Structure 1
């Protein structure tokens, strides 16, 4: 019997390898891993769904927003930390902002052109909003009173508060003898020296996790400090004693992983459901 040409034998071997690997890795392996997950970790494998009143209320491992149709916080609920995943807590778009501490200068909007807030201004604006919601100071170092990054571009004869678009009043009137001006959208200030201004704000009343997104954008927890900051508002809105709300916070606080990694955290969904149950 005549042997097949070598090039044909190589192609047939490749086809067999593809077929075998497809069955093993594309069918058998997913079936086995899915079966093991369902048998040993049934709840987690199905999304750790939390139910309330017989209906799915959310996931214990994926955060969600507690806002109205206009995106405003619902005052009777504890609020989650910000999310950079899609439009917020979208598991198909899990991500961080990928912005670092040197991202301090905004791109100011122009007619028909959308601007972009720097990471610093995002933090400042969130801190101001949380402070107003909770009745505390939202002031932070390197933030202006109106919730923008306190950053100057310094030139030989003047300085510009680059994150405060005209006709805003600059957060300082002068810097080292130079008059400080508001920023004109569309103007190129790249040649100036960048100077973030710390200001007089001390330790912020608003915790860091209230103004920054998690690395995944899906974190369902907030810090104990952020939960305690929100407790007076929630207690007032629900007509509950503050001590009762703080007790619920404690009941839904998880400790450090393995006793030493991370910080204690509060699951926002479970806490809000417990409040609804009361």
Structure 2
């Protein structure tokens, strides 16, 4: 290879490096930053406040226990954001099968339904263990228990579930979901208005 050919190759490589550095090191990160700033949740971190007090995030699940609340999906990390992650049990794991069987029996007893009626999201944790949403089916399954515990008409609770059911993006990307924190806050306000 001649010296002029090597010099041309070096020049081409250097120009390519500079162009890619500008595109991938400056323009792309700037574009991502602008898109992130334009998203509504990015401005406040998706924090939810109730009467001026931050009570949680619409993007991170938290535990609710007791009959007066809608319950979230199970969490392998006990809803601890620092311990986020799945259980890593394989689909063929006997431990996982036992956990699901035990949860199915527990949810069926709590909600007073046939075990076959318990939806999958009541039995399995999400990959992060912090999923803030449940399916509308799981929310409807819990409605009778919550209404009875709060002495509210079942239709009031069912209306809240319908109102807080988010449809898939563009009508077909994803599945309908219900944010548990937002639904429980609305439930708390509805109970205050009924009393």
Q: TM-score when scaled to structure 2?
A: 0.76
- Shift, 1:205, TM fit: 1.3
The 2-side partners of 1:237 and 1:54 are apart by 27
User: What residue ranges of structure 1 are gaps of 5+ in the alignment?
Assistant: 1-20, 67-72, 105-117, 139-203
- Shift, 1:89, TM fit: 2.2
What secondary structure sits across from 2:121 in the alignment? helix
The 2-side partners of 1:102 and 1:232 are apart by 34
Mapping of residues 27-46 of structure 1, within 5 Å:
36=34, 39-41=37-39, 43-46=41-44
Mapping of residues 109-148 of structure 1, within 5 Å:
118-138=95-115
CA RMSD in angstroms, aligned pairs only: 2.3
What secondary structure sits across from 2:55 in the alignment? strand
The 1-side partners of 2:136 and 2:32 are apart by 35
More helix by share: 2
CA contact (8 A) 1:254 1:265 kept: yes
What secondary structure sits across from 2:49 in the alignment? strand
The 2-side partners of 1:90 and 1:257 are apart by 28
Does residue 214 in structure 1 map to residue 131 in structure 2? no
CA contact (8 A) 1:37 1:45 kept: no
Q: Which residue of 1 aligns with 2:89?
A: 99
- Shift, 1:269, TM fit: 0.5
Q: Which runs of 4+ in 1 moved over 3 A?
A: 31-39
More strand by share: 1
CA contact (8 A) 1:206 1:226 kept: yes
The 1-side partners of 2:93 and 2:33 are apart by 46
Does residue 241 in structure 1 map to residue 156 in structure 2? no
The 1-side partners of 2:120 and 2:142 are apart by 14
The 1-side partners of 2:177 and 2:152 are apart by 22
Q: TM-score when scaled to structure 1?
A: 0.55
What secondary structure sits across from 1:78 in the alignment? coil
User: What residue ranges of structure 2 are gaps of 5+ in the alignment?
Assistant: 1-20, 191-195
Does residue 48 in structure 1 map to residue 46 in structure 2? yes
Q: Which residue of 2 aligns with 1:273?
A: 185
Q: Which residue of 1 aligns with 2:62?
A: 64
The 1-side partners of 2:155 and 2:187 are apart by 13
What secondary structure sits across from 2:117 in the alignment? coil
What secondary structure sits across from 1:128 in the alignment? helix
